[in-house]
A and B are shown apart, each in its own frame.
Chain A
Amino acid sequence: MHNIKAIIDIISLWTLPAILLLILGWAVIKKVPIYEAFIEGAKDGVKVSVNIIPYLVAIIVAISMFRASGAIELLTSHLKTILNVLKIPADILPLTIVRSLSGSAALGVFSDIVKANGVESYPAKLGAIMLGSSETTFYVLAVYFGAVGIKKYRYALLAGLMADFVGIVGAIIVARWFFL
């Protein structure tokens, strides 16, 4: 197992430098004025960052309000009995909801699960799989659409949430198969 950890560490360390070397090296060979090109693209970065502010404020404020209202806890307590029948730990439910809404909050919820159940527990492992296989859907949509000024999302949100749901069900099945 130490080998796997060592390989992962090397990959994590080298991916970014390797990509940078590849892009810059290729550009130098092709005689691109890299510094001028960098500045030109970087200026767009400033514009994009400012453009996404209204979209981010809209979604993050609404999600903060939703989390503060206690709606998630209310839902969790009502669904507990159904979850017990399906042998899904009730602690995991807030994570299934929060992970689509906010990345930092999902990390917090996951830490709580680990603290409450122990790091070697089944809920901790299920939570780890759920967290590792998800992306904050609302945040991704706000940032990507915000950057190009799209206001009508059409089916993008529905597709994202449906995929999230598939991920949750998949995590429950796979975690049970591996760890229960």
Chain B
Amino acid sequence: MNFIWFLLIFISIIIGAITGKLPDVVNAILEGAKTSIDVVLAIMGVMVFWLGIMKIAEKSGIIKVISKIIQPVAKWLFPEINSESKAIGDVALNFSANALGLANAATPIGIKAMEEFQKENINKSSASDAMCTFLAMNTAGFQLIPATVIAILAGFGAKNPTEIIVPTLIVTTFAFCSAIFIAKILKKIFPPQIKENEVEENA
């Protein structure tokens, strides 16, 4: 992330200077900072609400029930995660919310899953394999019905906006499965996580 962040900013300034758009790039710093806070404010209320609902779900034991049901899949996806972990149920709910296009609910639920994964993480500042797999699944954006896109197409007066559902479903399913396999392969290629106390000893 250090490198990519530097690269994004470095390229922006250099290209901005070449194309004569440097003033825009400078403005974008202020604009971007403002947008970030707008985004946080926009999601804060939903975040608070859904994390509240998720606490109810957790206390009622429904998360555990869901965890048990999908355990065989979960074991394959996240082999290092304790099968008793509540993370599994959260992952299932996050996946369902995403699939149904409830992005607002999916994000707080996903964060809940991340918190559960973090409990079992051996190094609290670096991503565990389970987290990487989970986020790869999330960034692939699996969705049963692309409601927003259909709405836009309909807004522009498309005769038959729902015709994109099937092709989109094929692509999103394919990308989702690929994401899981890519994460599984990268896990083997990348060096394993180092335990926190070992990091300190090396430093």
Instruction: Determine whether the beta carbon of B53 is less than 8 Å from that of A151.
Output: no
Instruction: Determine whether the beta carbon of B29 is less than 8 Å from that of A65.
Output: yes
Question: How many chain B residues touch A (Cβ–Cβ < 8 Å)?
Answer: 107
Q: Is B202 an interface residue (CB 8 A)?
A: no
Contacts of A62 in B (CB 8 A): 5, 8-9, 12, 32
Instruction: Determine whether the beta carbon of B162 is less than 8 Å from that of A64.
Output: no
Given A23-B62, A155-B190, verify A65-B21 contact (CB < 8 Å): no
**Cα-based distance from A162 to B12 in the complex (angstroms):** 23
Q: Sort chain A's interface into a size bin.
A: 35 or more
Instruction: Determine whether the beta carbon of B55 is less than 8 Å from that of A44.
Output: yes
Q: Is A85 an interface residue (CB 8 A)?
A: no
Q: How far is the CB of A125 from chain B (nearest CB, A)?
A: 6
Contact of B28 among A42, A48, A67 (CB under 8 A): A67
Using a CB–CB distance below 8 Å, which chain A residues touch chain B?
A: 1, 4-5, 8, 11-12, 15-16, 19-20, 22-24, 26-27, 29-30, 32, 34, 37-42, 44-46, 48-49, 52-53, 56-71, 74, 107, 110-111, 114-115, 119-120, 124-125, 128-137, 140-141, 143-145, 147-160, 162-164, 166-167, 170-171, 174-175, 177-179
Using a CB–CB distance below 8 Å, which chain B residues touch chain A?
A: 1, 4-5, 8-9, 11-13, 15-16, 19, 21, 24-25, 27-29, 31-33, 35-37, 39-40, 43-44, 47-62, 97-98, 100-102, 105, 107-108, 110-111, 114-115, 117-118, 123-127, 131-133, 135-136, 138-141, 143, 145-150, 152-153, 156-160, 162-168, 170-172, 174-176, 178-179, 182-183, 186-187, 189-190, 193
